[in-house]
Amino acid sequence: MADTRTPLLDRVTLPGDLRTFSPAELKQLADELRQETVDAVSVTGGHLGAGLGVVELTVALHHVFDTPNDKVIWDVGHQAYPHKILTGRRDRIRTLRQGGGLSGFTRRSESDYDPFGAAHCSTSISAGLGMATARDLRGDDFDVVAVIGDGSMSAGMAYEAMNNAGASDSRMLVILNDNDMSIAPPVGAMSAYLSQIVASRSYCSLRELAKQMAKRFPRALEKTAARAEEFARGLVTGGTLFEELGFFYVGPVDGHNLDHLLPILRKLRGRRHGPVLLHVITEKGRGHPFPEAHAEKYHAVAKFDVVTGVQSKPQANAPTYTRVFADSLIAEAEADESIVAVTAAMPSGTGLDLFAKRYPERCFDVGIAEQHAVTFAAGMATEGLKPFVAIYSTFLQRAYDQVVHDVALQNLPVRFALDRAGLVGADGATHAGAFDLAYLGCLPGFVIMAPSDEAELRHMVATAAAIDDGPSAVRFPRGEGVGVELPARGVPLEIGRGRIVREGTTIALLSLGGRLEECLKAADALAARGLSTTVADARFAKPIDSDLVRRLAREHAVLITVEEGSTGGFASQVLHDLATRGLLDRGLVVRPMTLPDRFIDHDKPELQYAQAGLDASAIVATAVSALPDMRQARRLVPDSAGD
């Protein structure tokens, strides 16, 4: 992969290759690495801004630390593309997020240089402390470095981990990658110089001596000495909180200046006791090629032209489910001023940025704090507001206890909008909304809806707004709708009532959510085989439409349920209902179609669903394979059975 534009990067296969580079060569390497990152993401699309912000830090870490023996943990993984390029994966970097290619996040099975898999934020400090503790118990000797962004520090888990780490004597280094200027002002040479002094082992020992000496000074002089020591350690610029949690604070430091980073990291490597927090200031998206400004600094981008920066986004044929949800919620809020919206640091991802533009005083972004978001909404519900909590299905998992204890147990009318339900394409298994039907369906009192198209979603938002006697959830997929005509405003649905979409006689397909179109395709294919097929849209996963299920069971020989969720979800509700009514005792053949009992890797969504066995061809195959069982059941059951 030799490239005349990247002569130094071409010499790096693994991090050991760059450890002999001079500081000047490392600076050139960083420039080449940034160029390579931009070029790779232009081909694949993906998370660009965070990686561009940590190029120099990535180079410095792999130059100073003995990876993979020393463990470097990248929180979330958005920022790990440059890391992947330096750790033996450059030849595959243009397969990022493609079927069979590299993951968009860190993954243990992908490389020894990924000591911990991460795609959800704020896990790095906990994992790092676990590794450091295991090292100490086993008598090993290596460094542990956790790199966490300032946004991830808004999650409670990060502080739980820091509180635990601060109370221990295990040595580890936490690098706070501050790319939003949210804590510290701009830093310069003096700050970097002081941080180098503070990081030195000699200063660590002298610090205690200085404190003891200061206590012997007159009070005014003691205060002056303490103030100087605080200034030298950066406390006046943001370190106080971290010191109170038991960390030795160093910084802030310019994260793009290798002359500052390298000596500090060298002094911190191998520090014998306790946790250290190094605060580095970086610019998210540094060096991006895009001509226009963007508030999110190109966090995630489509494929783009490296020269012009123009992104090649495909033309949408229908609005996205996210956009339909946002517009529907705005329509409901226009008619009801008690409706409020809550998001956990994902306003654009959930569509609530549109709601916030219209009703800024009624939209609340609580940061990466899903647990708080749920209980915050529960508190608002007790006072008569109508909160909609918009969180990706995969992220609501982080707040499950709050959903159970603070919402369901108290039967509070909190409304959950679960975006990215089902499989999600390039983000892979870590972001798939596979489990919400199972983890919400077991909770008493929950109403759970899943639209089969964007018009149904609009009606379900109206339905959720009208439910005021308990919790509810509507789950909807990522991407575009199917292109149906949208009403100006939704109409509340009758709770727990599905609908028949196509009438048949032999096989019944009961679909929940976005697989309805595939069920209709399967029905066409079955009709070509002479098999008359009913297609029904369940609409509600809970309460299920028992009358509809009973009708399908009595009027058809085969009943197949189809859902974009794991075992334990909608099909379990249907089978439980059939069993308690005795409808499984009379020869009915039932086949539940769910996501398989394994994680589905990243790929195009249509290919993921094919792998999962949830496309039209798989539905047809399931129906045809059930026919021998159907004939056997008919031989064993009297003609009057099921009446």
Closest CA to 95 of 77, 110, 108: 110
Q: Which amino acid is at 350?
A: T
d(CA 126, CA 161): 5
User: Quick one: angle between helices 23-44 and 55-64, nearest 10?
Assistant: 130
User: Quick one: angle between helices 55-64 and 258-268, nearest 10?
Assistant: 40
d(CA 253, CA 238): 12
For residue 211, CA distances in Å to 202, 203, 208, 369 come to 15, 12, 5, 38
Say which CATH topology domain 321-475 has. Rossmann fold (3.40.50)
Domain ranges of the chain: 9-281, 321-475, 499-636
Segments of the chain scoring below 70 in pLDDT: 1-4, 180-240, 291-299, 304-310, 312, 629-643
Q: Known catalytic residue: 286?
A: no
d(CA 436, CA 45): 28
SS3 171: coil
Contacts of 22-29 with C-beta under 8 Å, sequence gap 24+, read 23/258, 23/259, 23/262, 26/59, 26/60, 26/63, 26/258, 26/262, 27/258, 29/59
pLDDT score at 183: 34
- 152 marked ligand binding residue: yes
pLDDT score at 302: 72
Report the C-alpha dihedral over residues 161, 162, 165, 167, rounded to 10 degrees: -120
Start-to-end CA distance of the chain, whole Å, equals 71
pLDDT score at 642: 41
Q: Known catalytic residue: 454?
A: no
How far is CA 603 from its chain centroid?
16
**Helix/strand/coil (H, E, C) string of 446-475?**
CEEECCCCHHHHHHHHHHHHHCCCCCEEEE
Q: State in words which class domain 499-636 has.
A: alpha beta
For residue 493, CA distances in Å to 447, 449, 456, 549, 569 come to 12, 10, 9, 18, 21
Pairing verdict, β 589-593 and 558-563? parallel
Label residue 369 exposed, middle or buried (CB < 10 Å: 0-12, 13-18, 19+). buried
pLDDT score at 198: 53
Q: Which residues are within 8 A (CB) of 378 and not within 5 positions of it... i.e. 6 or more apart? A: 387, 402, 406, 407, 410, 412, 414
Backbone Cα Rg of the chain: 28
Whether 499-636 and 9-281 are alike in CATH topology: the answer is: yes
Closest CA to 389 of 458, 442, 467, 329: 329
pLDDT score at 212: 53
- Whose structure tokens read 């179109």? 517
Tell me which of 3.40.30.10, 3.40.190.10, 3.40.50.1950, 3.40.50.970 is the CATH number of domain 9-281: 3.40.50.970
- 288 marked ligand binding residue: yes
Q: Known catalytic residue: 283?
A: no
Q: Which of 398, 478, 515, 591 is catalytic?
A: 398
pLDDT score at 189: 53
- 78 marked ligand binding residue: yes
Q: Which of 89, 267, 284, 386 is catalytic?
A: 284
pLDDT score at 434: 96
pLDDT score at 211: 54
Other Cβ atoms closer than 10 A to 291:
8
d(CA 386, CA 471): 11
Q: Which of 36, 56, 332, 370 is catalytic?
A: 370
Label residue 598 exposed, middle or buried (CB < 10 Å: 0-12, 13-18, 19+). exposed
Q: Phi, psi at residue 254, to the nearest 5°?
A: -70, 110
- 177 marked ligand binding residue: no
pLDDT score at 206: 44
- 182 marked ligand binding residue: no
